[in-house]
Amino acid sequence: MLRTLRGGTLFERLFVYGVLVVFASFLSAFLIATKTFFSVGETMASMAARVVPELCATGSAPPGKFDGPSAALYRDDGTLRAALGEQIPPPLPRGDIAQLHILGYHPAGVHMAFLCRETAGEYVLIAPPPFPWRHAGTLFLAVCIVVALGSSLPFARSIAKPIEQIVVVAGSFGRGDLSARANGTFCGEVGDLARAFNDMALRIEQLICAEKELLANVSHELRTPLARIRVVLETAQEAPARAQELLHEIGRDLAELEELVENVMASARMDVASTEMSSARLPLRLERRDLCAIAHESARRFRRMHPHRQLELESSREPAWVRADATLMRRVFDNILENACKYSDVGSPILMRLHTDAGAVRAEVMDSGIGIDAEDLPLVFNAFFRSDRSRNRETGGAGLGLCLAKRIVDAHGGSIGIDSVPGRGTTVRILLKPTDDVSAFA
């Protein structure tokens, strides 16, 4: 029980504390009543030793004012011979008188009867004094105050103190101190509240930092092609004869800007969808699609954009039906193929393979490029992360391709992973659930 008070849940602690308070109250009341009754009994016994012999010997009350329990001297026939005190007890019934003559002492309810040995046919009956309600009530009130001060205050403080600490930390966090954290060592529901607040605060801090990082990275990525466009325009102004040649450079930079803006917007839409809407209401136009056909379309576009690169596509003749948004899945393949193109040599082929096995549709894109270091693999799906830190035209990029690809695949209920060996190449694997339910997409 003490362990529950220290480390149990808040409900258990309140319940056990309430039970203990009730038990302590009843126990204190019982002890006080018992002590009072024992005191009354001792008073009556003391009076019997002092008064009974005198009443039986003289047959009359002693002179003067009497302060104590009431007493009376009766004959067996019920005649009152003498009395002490204000509340004179009534005579005993005949049955009790017979018992009294046999035993010499008889407890008659709350009264005490004593047989007079000196005179025949007489007995003394002693009534208890009035119950000391005021004294017992005062003592019980004192015990309740001690219980309240000795147990209620520490218990209430043990609950209020961590909550007050969480309130202070929450106020600091609300005023902008993103590093404010509650003490997570509290037990029970209060500890759960503190840990939940810390998790929330950490998540908010990460989101705010990610938003700042996003703004900084987007600004950097926009500045680079804009600066190149400005240089090309200045060059064209100084050498008008080269303007036609420089249009191709401007077109490449504008295409890079367009790709960056599209990826940022798509990533933002996926963020909004995952935080404000349920998975059943994600902004996907899910239809029954052949993933092989989507991959072939992305391959044709890649070959058209990069005629100098060799892309091999292996897929089964049977359709690989999946429940997917064709536009977004094409973007997944486009981004992965663009990455393979950027981080592999011009002469090395890129292989795309699609097949269905073990109840899953599997797509793989393999290159023999520079690869990714082992310590960088867990980070490749982070926004704006690049395993190649250089920012030249050949390997340049915003670092949003794989991040967006993962978000799209996750939204489809699939999974995406990467295997890579530095200097030997990279393999990106996508797994989606197959579907044969035609009616769901009719």
pLDDT digits (tens, 9 = 90+) for 253-281: 787 777 777 777 776 666 665 554 444 34
Question: Which residue type does 152 have?
Answer: S
Distance from CA of residue 230 to its chain's centroid? 53
Strands (E), 258-414: 287-290, 311-315, 321-324, 350-357, 360-367
pLDDT confidence of residue 352: 93
Whole-number Å distance between alpha carbons of 78 and 125? 11
Whole-number Å distance between alpha carbons of 88 and 113? 13
Query: Which tens digit of pLDDT belongs to each residue from 52-76?
Result: 777 787 777 666 555 567 788 888 8
Closest-CA residue to 342 (of 413, 401, 292, 262): 401
Q: What DSSP letter does each residue of 99-129 carry, written as one string?
A: HHHHHSEEEETTEEEEE-SSSTTEEEEEPPP
Checking if the pLDDT of 351 tops 70, the result is yes
pLDDT confidence of residue 106: 66
Global pTM value: 0.49
The first and second tokens of residue 13, run together, are 């602690």
Whole-number Å distance between alpha carbons of 324 and 337? 19
Whole-number Å distance between alpha carbons of 303 and 90? 122
Query: Which tens digit of pLDDT belongs to each residue from 137-148?
Result: 777 777 777 766
Query: DSSP character for 22?
Result: H
Confidence band of 442 (pLDDT split at 50, 70, 90): very low
* More confident site: 20 or 163: 163
Over residues 297-324, the mean pLDDT reads 89
pLDDT confidence of residue 280: 39
For strands 80-84 and 71-75, give the pairing. antiparallel
Checking if the pLDDT of 282 tops 80, the result is no
Over residues 4-24, the mean pLDDT reads 67
Mean of all residue pLDDT scores within the chain: 77
